[in-house]
Structures are given as structure tokens and as C-alpha cells.
Amino acid sequence: MAKTPRTQPQSNAPVGDDQRRLLTEDRVLAVLAQGQMEERGLLPYSSNYSFLVTLRGDELELPGVYKPRRGENPLWDFPTGTLCQREVAAYEISAALGWNLVPPTVLRDGTRGIGSVQFFIECDPDIHYFSKQEDARFALPLRQLSLFDFLVNNADRKSGHCLFGADERMWAIDHGICFHSEYKLRSVIWEFSEQPIAPDLLDDLERMQATLADPTSELSCALSKLLSRAERAALCGRLERLLALAHHPSPPPHQRNFPWPPI
């Protein structure tokens, strides 16, 4: 992997006000997938190579985070070269649930080969989950995220992986080590443990179950290209367990349940 200077995101990364009216999800996904890519610099503090990029389409110029497959550090418990696929699978699950926790993300060929490209969220890096966990405005998305992380089997939900954008929305990022077929959940979000899952969230989960049961559904077809058969089966098993228990998961005893570092 060629060395690139590590930089903070460029000042021109956020989308201009004159373009915000064009930011429908479909348009963003199209530009992420097909736009001309230009690297702006290597993002700091990442365990894998992550690049701030600009994607240019016919009408839109968007900032993105590009994680090329060949910039992934090998892990003993995840198949080599699959982290970028897991990033995209997490977006597909978030979108299918209608919770929109994960920024639009695609898998594409970029300046350094195949990788995930995610819409860059403009935010204050000093504001994260620990800063907002008592803020009532984020009670619902945090409850959703608690269930989402169990569902995708997130092995690394740090506080800093919760971004609070200029639009006052919470976004969840960094899902490269999700979807393992064995239980791997490590999270800082456990305050909802054993609380009943709200009825509307249970409805969302039940719809997801029906969608996954159909092998011809758009979601099933997408996941079949991103995850192994065993990983997809384990995902369905976790979903079934959530619906059967009908309460938020709790940390198992005698197991490492928190990521390190927590932020």
C-alpha cells in the first residue's frame, strides 16, 4: 500500500448549502457508487487505511470515506479482505430496518481497488456517545443502535463510533468487524439491558425477519454477495432470538463485553 500523508479532513469536505437540496439517499448512493473519486488524504487514528475522498457526479460533489480492501490489516478471526463488505452489509441492514443509523455506503472500485465508500459525516469529533447518552433527544436512536449492534454482532461499538452531525442526527460508523457467526458483541451501550423492546421497534424487526426469509428480496440478494452463508444464518438466528426475548440484550457474565479503548 503506497504511503500517503495522514491529514485531517479538508475544510472543503462538507457539502455546500447549494447542494443540500439534491441530497436524497438515492442520489447520494449513485454518486458514491459512480462518481469520479479524488483522494484528499489519509484519515488519522484508523487501524486500517481510510481515505477522505471527494466523489463528483453530474450535479453533486460529495465527501466520502474510502476503505480499500487491500488496506485492511489481517485479523485472526475475520476472513481477510472482507471488512469493506461488512461495512456495506451494516448499511443494508440499517436501511432495511428504516432506522437510517449508518450513512449511505457502497462497495466499488476506487483509486486503490475495491473498497467501501461511505458518505462523510461532518461532526465535532469531541462529541460522541458519552457526551450525548443522557440527552433525551437521542433516546430512540440509541435504543435502535443497541438492538442494531446485537443484530449485526458488532465487535467494536466504541463511543467515538457514534457521530452527532450538524443536522442534529446521530450516525453510527465503523462496522468492519461485524457479522461474525460466533458471538462477538462488545459495546459501550448497555444502559437499556433487559428493558422491553418498544412495540414499533419490534414491528421493524418482524418486517426484517420476513424480508430475510425471502431469498429473492433485495436485502437477501445484497447480503448474499457480502456475507458468507454461515454469517447470514447467524444473523437470522440473532434476529429470531431478539424477537423471542422481546427485550434489549444484556452483557453476558464472564465475557469481555466492552471495547478497548472505549472511545
Read out DSSP for 164-183?
A: EBTTS-EEE---TT---SS-
What global pTM score does this model have? 0.91
Task: State the distance between the two ends of the chain, measured CA to CA, in whole angstroms.
Answer: 27
62 grid coordinates: 460529495
pLDDT for 236: 98
DSSP 107-122: EEEEBTEEEEEEEPPP
Q: E strands within 132-227?
A: 162-164, 170-172
Q: What is the CATH number of domain 17-119?
A: 3.30.200
pLDDT digits (tens, 9 = 90+) for 48-101: 999 999 999 988 999 999 999 999 999 999 999 999 999 999 999 999 999 999
pLDDT at 13 over 90: no
Where are the chain's structural domains? 17-119, 129-245
pLDDT for 230: 98
Q: Which residues of 103-125 are buried (b: 16+ CB within 10 A; e: fewer)?
A: bbbbbbebebeebbbbbbbebee
Give strand pairing partners of 37. Answer: 55
pLDDT digits (tens, 9 = 90+) for 117-153: 999 999 998 999 999 999 999 999 999 999 999 999 9
pLDDT digits (tens, 9 = 90+) for 218-246: 999 999 999 999 999 999 999 999 999 99
Task: Please indicate whether residue 224 or residue 24 has the higher confidence score (pLDDT).
Answer: 224
